[in-house]
A = this chain, B = another copy of it.
Amino acid sequence: MNLPSVLTQPISPRSVVAETAARERLDSLVKPLGSLGRLEDIAAWLCGAQGRCPAVPIERVRVVVFAGDHGVADEGVSAYPREVTAAMVAAFLGGFAGVSVLAHSQGARVRVLDLGVRVDLPDAPADVRRYKVRHGSGDISRQDALTPAETLAGLEAGAAIADEEIDGGADLLVPGDMGIGNTTVAAALVAATLGLPADDVVGSGTGVSGLALVHKRAVIDLALSRRRADGPLGVLNALGSADAAATVGFLIRAAARSTPVLLDGVFSGACALVASRIAPAAADWWLAGHRSTEPSQRHALAALGLEPVVDVGMRLGEGSGAMVALPIVRAAQTLLAGMGTLQDLNLANADADTHSSGRM
């Protein structure tokens, strides 16, 4: 199985020049050295991604919600029936889902795409189904999620969607997700990629507890033992879904187009991990938005070397965690661009001891 050519394009690193300039500028601002903590790293990252210092405000954020059903939902791994996936697509279209209201309040736009919902939503605009790969992905505990051709179609769809958004002017992309059963798929993708047992990736973080949790772990175990093919494409075939493949393609293409991405929670974390095994340089363009309560996200982000911006115990998905992190990314840009420098203070004899940085 060969990758579509759109996913084998070279990926440039972020600008070292802009990032170095950001670090120098940060150290010149009216504050003790390093006192903005994580915001200094974020500001520098954004400068590197934009290739300029200071970075300009992030103004055209696009959230793309990749929706799809997962056959494994039939195994009873979720507290919700699979009909919820389609119903939630309607909620995104209606603008009343969690990510919708957060995005609206921050001037970001949300686009929902049906990659693999089991049914076709009769009332949805045709554009929502434009990249549809199949009706529901296979139950990973019993069969492959996708055929190789469907995996490629999903990857290509995600890349095409990234191109559309970037050509439309997006300056920050957020991958969102909707699909009953998708934390099971995310856990399986992470476990297979990192060689972890189901025990390490399943957790009460989903809200499933007691016997249902034991069952979910067994389902993941079954999926992992059934898998034959290796490599990221084999893992996607066997354990992924149409929406997962599209998210992977989206993430790789965003990096190839030098467009920064703010990851959401467990699903985008698992897809980012798989994407990094296809295109290792791509992770340079991804910032982790929030810490999900799902254990598989912790493993995925650790393997990627990413540390989330916020940790507020969210597990909604959709892109909502990234949208809670977005104002902090914006705050980092605002501080770097707007704060005065120590020279503005006009302090002739009040230089800080250069051997230690101190809180003022």
- Using CB atoms and an 8 Å cutoff, list the residues of chain A in contact with chain B: 29-39, 78-81, 83-85, 87-88, 90-91, 94, 96-98, 101-102, 104-105, 178, 180, 183, 205-210, 212, 293-294, 309-317, 320, 323-324, 327-328, 330-331, 334-335, 338-340, 344-347, 349-350, 352-353, 356-360
Give the dominant DSSP class at A's interface. loop
- State the CA gap A102–B328 with chains docked (Å): 10
Chain B residues within 8 Å of A315, by CB? 32, 35, 37, 359
- State the CA gap A152–B114 with chains docked (Å): 65
Provided the pairs A80-B32, A105-B334 are in contact, do residues A91 and B344 lie with their beta carbons within 8 angstroms? yes
Chain B residues within 8 Å of A339, by CB? 96-98, 101
- State the CA gap A338–B98 with chains docked (Å): 8
Which residue of the partner chain B has the closest CB to A206? B359
Identify 11 residue pairs between A and B in the complex whose beta-carbon atoms are under 8 Å apart, listed by A's number.
A30-B97, A32-B315, A33-B207, A35-B316, A78-B358, A79-B353, A90-B346, A91-B344, A98-B339, A209-B356, A316-B360
- State the CA gap A350–B83 with chains docked (Å): 7
Provided the pairs A97-B339, A97-B340, A328-B327 are in contact, do residues A83 and B357 lie with their beta carbons within 8 angstroms? no
Q: A36-B314, A83-B349, A87-B346 are in contact. List 9 more A-B contacts (CB 8 A).
A: A35-B207, A35-B316, A39-B312, A87-B347, A207-B356, A208-B358, A209-B356, A212-B356, A310-B328
Chain B residues within 8 Å of A310, by CB? 310, 312, 328
Q: A69 CB to closest chain B CB, in angstroms?
A: 12
Q: A70 CB to closest chain B CB, in angstroms?
A: 11
Which residue of the partner chain B has the closest CB to A346? B87
Contact A98 B31 (CB under 8 A): yes
Which residue of the partner chain B has the closest CB to A354? B79
Copies of the protein in its oligomer: 2
- State the CA gap A53–B48 with chains docked (Å): 43
- State the CA gap A165–B102 with chains docked (Å): 29
Provided the pairs A315-B35, A316-B36, A327-B328 are in contact, do residues A98 and B356 lie with their beta carbons within 8 angstroms? no
Contact A31 B358 (CB under 8 A): no
Provided the pairs A88-B360, A96-B344, A328-B324 are in contact, do residues A32 and B314 lie with their beta carbons within 8 angstroms? no
Chain B residues within 8 Å of A207, by CB? 32-35, 356-359
Task: Return the contact of A105 from the options B331, B356, B360 (Cβ within 8 A).
Answer: B331
Q: A23 CB to closest chain B CB, in angstroms?
A: 16
Contact B88 A30 (CB under 8 A): yes
Contact A331 B102 (CB under 8 A): yes
Provided the pairs A96-B340, A315-B32, A323-B331 are in contact, do residues A37 and B359 lie with their beta carbons within 8 angstroms? no
Q: A308 CB to closest chain B CB, in angstroms?
A: 10
Chain B residues within 8 Å of A294, by CB? 359
- State the CA gap A346–B89 with chains docked (Å): 12
- State the CA gap A97–B29 with chains docked (Å): 9
Contact B38 A313 (CB under 8 A): yes
Chain B residues within 8 Å of A331, by CB? 102, 105, 323-324, 327
Which residue of the partner chain B has the closest CB to A267? B359
